[in-house]
Amino acid sequence: MTLQIEDLTKEYLMGELTVSALSGITLNIEQGQFLVILGPSGSGKTTLLNVIGGIDRPTTGKILFGTNGKSTNLVSLKERDLTKYRRLNVGFIFQFYNLVASLTAFENVELAAKLTNPSDEARKISKELLEEVGLGDKSNKFPAQLSGGEQQRVAIARALAKKPKILLADEPTGNIDSETTGKILKLLQRVNENYKVTILLVTHNVGISTLADKVIYLRDGKIFGTSKYDPAKEKEFWEELTVAPPIDTAG
Ligand SMILES: Nc1ncnc2c1ncn2[C@@H]1O[C@H](COP(=O)(O)OP(=O)(O)OP(=O)(O)O)[C@@H](O)[C@H]1O
Ligand SMILES: [Mg+2]
Per-position DSSP letters for 54-114, written without gaps between them: TSS--SEEEEEEEETTEEEEGGG--HHHHHHHHHHHEEEE-SS----TTS-HHHHHHHHHH
Instruction: Return the ligand 1 atom nearest residue 39 CA.
Output: 21
Is 22 among the domain residues?
no
CB of residue 117 inside a 6 A radius of ligand 1: no
Residues near 50 by beta carbon (within 8 Å), at least 6 away in sequence: 56
Burial of 114 per CB tally in 10 Å (0-12, 13-18, 19+) = middle
pLDDT at residue 125, as a whole number: 95
* 189 pLDDT more than 60: yes
pLDDT digits (tens, 9 = 90+) for 120-172: 999 999 999 999 999 999 999 999 999 999 999 999 999 999 889 999 999 99
pLDDT at residue 242, as a whole number: 76
* 108 pLDDT more than 90: yes
Q: Contact, 166 vs 53, CB < 8 A? A: yes
Q: Residue 196 is part of which domain span?
A: 29-58+89-242
Is 137 among the domain residues?
yes
Claim: this prediction has a pTM higher than 0.75: yes
CB of residue 19 inside a 6 A radius of ligand 1: yes
Q: What is the CA(171)–ligand 2 centre distance, in A?
A: 8
How far is Cα 48 from Cα 26, in angstroms, rounded to an integer? 11
Is 164 among the domain residues?
yes
Tell me if residue 160 falls in helix, strand or coil.
helix
pLDDT digits (tens, 9 = 90+) for 202-217: 998 899 999 999 999 9
How far is Cα 197 from Cα 89, in angstroms, rounded to an integer? 10
pLDDT at residue 247, as a whole number: 64
CB of residue 14 inside a 6 A radius of ligand 1: yes
Amino acid at 3: L
Q: Contact, 75 vs 57, CB < 8 A? A: yes
Q: What is the CA(128)–ligand 2 centre distance, in A?
A: 31
Q: What is the CA(164)–ligand 2 centre distance, in A?
A: 22
Nearest CA to ligand 1 atom 1: 12
Average pLDDT over residues 54-68: 96
Is 72 among the domain residues?
no
* Number of folded domains that form the chain: 1
C-alpha distances out from residue 116 to 7, 121, 193, 233, Å: 32, 10, 22, 39
Angle between helical axes of 178-195 and 231-242 (0-180°, round to 10): 140
Nearest CA to ligand 1 atom 19: 42
Is 235 among the domain residues?
yes
Nearest CA to ligand 1 atom 27: 41
* 72 pLDDT more than 90: yes
> What's the CATH number where 187 sits?
3.40.50.300
Is 73 among the domain residues?
no
Is 187 among the domain residues?
yes
Q: Contact, 5 vs 27, CB < 8 A? A: yes
> Of the ligands numbered here, which is closest to the C-alpha atom of 44?
1
Nearest CA to ligand 1 atom 7: 12
Is 19 among the domain residues?
no
